[in-house]
Amino acid sequence: MSGPDTSGISKYPGERLGLPESGPGSMARAGRRILAIVIDWTIALVISNFAFGGNQWATLAIFAVEQILLIGTLGYSVGHRIAGIHVVRLGGAPAGPLAAVVRTLLLCLVIPAVVFDPDQRGLHDKAMNTILIRM
């Protein structure tokens, strides 16, 4: 007779959350996440260079506004869309505006994004009970 796995060790990221190992609905792996953030940061940097002379705080603000508006309404940023990933709450519901705001503010602090659990969820995702999954 076997019970639930309480070892905390899973075969792949997202298994403990009931997600498939690969394909649509699986956890977005580091490569896709990094690609998405590089694309979003590049967009913010280009806009900042043209509109604000490349001011670093303007770049960060543009990045944050893009994240908040797009994730809060569509569930993905431009970078997420290109990388084929999107943000949802555990269970599949849309992230929503509040999650987008808190998640983005924590993401802008950088540390929550580089500290993650075995399911590759950063602290910014854990704080709002969200996950990044493949489309």
Q: What is the pLDDT of residues 64-116, one digit of tens each?
A: 999 999 999 999 999 999 999 999 999 899 999 999 999 999 999 887 677 88
Q: Compute φ and ψ for 108, nearest 5 degrees.
A: -65, -20
What is residue 4's predicted lDDT score, i.e. its pLDDT? Answer: 43
Are the C-beta atoms of 89 and 103 separated by less than 8 Å?
A: no
pLDDT in tens, 104-121: 999 998 876 778 888 888
Question: How many whole angstroms separate alpha carbon 82 and alpha carbon 41?
Answer: 13
Query: Is the torsion defined by CA of 84, 92, 101, 70 positive or negative?
Result: positive
Please name the residue that has the structure tokens 């001011």: 55
Please name the residue that has the structure tokens 């690609």: 35
Q: How confident is the model at residue 56 (pLDDT cuts 50, 70, 90)?
A: very high
What residue ranges do the domains of the chain occupy? 25-134
What is residue 71's predicted lDDT score, i.e. its pLDDT? Answer: 97
Question: How many whole angstroms separate alpha carbon 65 and alpha carbon 36?
Answer: 15
Are the C-beta atoms of 132 and 27 separated by less than 8 Å?
A: yes
Neighbours of 22 (CB within 10 A): 12
Given a cut of 70, whether residue 33 has pLDDT beyond it is: yes
Question: How many whole angstroms separate alpha carbon 95 and alpha carbon 37?
Answer: 18
Given a cut of 70, whether residue 133 has pLDDT beyond it is: yes
Given a cut of 60, whether residue 6 has pLDDT beyond it is: no
